[in-house]
Amino acid sequence: MSKILTTREVADMLPGVQTWQVRRLFELGVFKDPGRFAGKRAIPSDMLPAIIDELRRRGWLKEKEVENVQ
């Protein structure tokens, strides 16, 4: 079972990434909304690689800024 993260927790794990950037990926439909718990997105940690790839594709995360995030 994967760990559940909020948009803030995902952003805090990634240097230079803001919460709004992670949130925007879901708002624009890039990723299906994972559901909510207590009003916050419940993002499974196994989505991290796809989120990181999309942030890089958009230029919001530099290639070498992330290593061993999980």
Single-letter amino acid code for the residue at 51: I
With contact defined as beta carbons under 8 Å apart, do 11 and 22 qualify?
Answer: yes
Q: pLDDT for 1-60, tens place per residue?
A: 679 999 999 999 999 999 999 999 999 999 999 999 999 999 999 999 999 999 999 999
Q: Residue 67 — φ and ψ, nearest 5°? A: -140, 135
Q: Is the pLDDT of residue 67 over 80?
A: no
Name the residue type at position 3.
K
- What are the φ/ψ torsions at residue 20 (nearest 5 degrees)? -60, -30
Domains of the chain, by residue range, sit at 4-64
Give residue 57's pLDDT: 95
Cβ within 8 Å of residue 17, ≥6 positions away:
10, 11, 55, 60, 61
- Say what the pLDDT of residue 2 is: 78
Fill in the amino acid letter for 69: V
pTM (2 decimals)? 0.86
